Structure 1
Amino acid sequence: MQNGPVPTTLTLLSELGKLAPGSKVRFLGCVTNYSTKTATLTLEHNHPPGNLLQAQVDVTLLVTTMKSNDTQIGEWVNVMGYLTSRKEKQTPNRPTLEVGVQAIVLWSSGSFNLQAYEESLDKHTP
């Protein structure tokens, strides 16, 4: 029996597809799209190279507290939330895997060393 909140798994975006829906995760991703209609951020991180996973992050719970730069294309953001779904999507150029995430916290990564981040998580990935 657990007496506190569910622990968060720090992971690379590319590993989200290996986790079960309902898992609480924290990951970093680059904004490639934002839909104001659905309050959904599309995040990607091409690591390892050739990664075809996209995170579809529902930010409905956060829209009143988010900063405008958090939704700009090319912005790197940290997300903490729960995995909600997983689906394969066939596009003309390439197949992709989309993982749905309900965000409970989102913040800009600010200035950081992407290579060091990737190396540090690669060491912890089996």
Structure 2
Amino acid sequence: MPEPSQLVLLEQLPSIKAGTKIRFLACVHAYNPKQGELILRDRYPATTPETPTAIVNVTNVLENANHELLEVGAWLNVVGYVTKPADSIKSAVVASKQNRNERTTKPLEPRSVEATMLWSAGAVNLNRYKSAVRGYQKPPSSG
């Protein structure tokens, strides 16, 4: 029986340990076909270094992915496993964020995810989605 995934917000990824199976929603900001990686963020456009970021390896799901899933601006549901990011990828994402924004706020370190499933989220009301996820994550009240 497959292991269930843990529903999380992209901003929660830094606190999740490597090897954990997760499900999250994010927006495509870039696709690197040579590496088979998507850079996903939790808003579009994302203009600050504080924007939560995930680097998602999609090589295992590419044969089932249409080009619309890889387009900048597409909102995706992702299921996969948290992995440790490669230093070169972390550096490139952090540097690109710093180049676009001269603020001195420390950028968030992106997390890497190995995708096992990927599908379109369609139109998203991000505030309602985040509220629903937080409500789902609350432990049931005893009483």
TM-score (norm 2): 0.75
Report the number of matched residues. 121
Over residues 59-108 of structure 1, what are the superposed CA-to-partner deviations in whole Å (9 max), with x where a residue is unaligned? 00011110101011111000000000157644333523110000000000
| Contact 2:75–2:123 (Cα < 8 Å) also in 1 | no
Q: Per the alignment, in what secondary structure is the counterpart of residue 112 of structure 1?
A: coil
Deviation at 1:125, TM superposition (A): 5.8
Aligned to 1:62: 61
Deviation at 1:26, TM superposition (A): 0.1
Q: Structure 1 residues 87-96 or 21-30, which shifts more? A: 87-96
Tell me which amino acid in the other structure corresponds to 2:2: P
| Contact 1:45–1:51 (Cα < 8 Å) also in 2 | no
- Unaligned stretches of 5+ residues in structure 2: none
Tell me which amino acid in the other structure corresponds to 2:75: W
User: For residues 111 and 52 of structure 1, do their structure 2 counterparts lie closer, same or farther at Cα, with a shift above 3 Å needed?
Assistant: closer
Establish whether residue 22 from structure 1 lines up as the match of residue 34 from structure 2: no
| Contact 1:14–1:51 (Cα < 8 Å) also in 2 | no
| Contact 2:31–2:38 (Cα < 8 Å) also in 1 | yes
Deviation at 1:50, TM superposition (A): 7.5
Deviation at 1:53, TM superposition (A): 2.4
Paired with 1:111 and 1:11, the residues of 2 have a C-alpha distance of 19
Which has the greater radius of gyration?
Answer: 2
Paired with 2:20 and 2:28, the residues of 1 have a C-alpha distance of 22
Q: Per the alignment, in what secondary structure is the counterpart of residue 14 of structure 1?
A: helix
Aligned to 1:34: 31
User: For residues 36 and 111 of structure 1, do their structure 2 counterparts lie closer, same or farther at Cα, with a shift above 3 Å needed?
Assistant: same
1:41-52 to 2 correspondences below 5 Å: 41-46=38-43, 51-52=50-51
Percent identity among equivalent residues? 33
Q: Per the alignment, in what secondary structure is the counterpart of residue 54 of structure 2?
A: strand
Q: Per the alignment, in what secondary structure is the counterpart of residue 110 of structure 2?
A: strand
Deviation at 1:112, TM superposition (A): 3.4
| Contact 1:77–1:109 (Cα < 8 Å) also in 2 | yes
Taking only aligned residues, the RMSD between alpha carbons, in angstroms, comes to: 2.2
Larger strand percent: 1
Q: 1:106 aligns with which of 105, 113, 118?
A: 118
TM-score (norm 1): 0.84
Larger helix percent: 2
Tell me which amino acid in the other structure corresponds to 1:98: P
Q: Structure 1 residues 78-87 or 55-64, which shifts more? A: 78-87
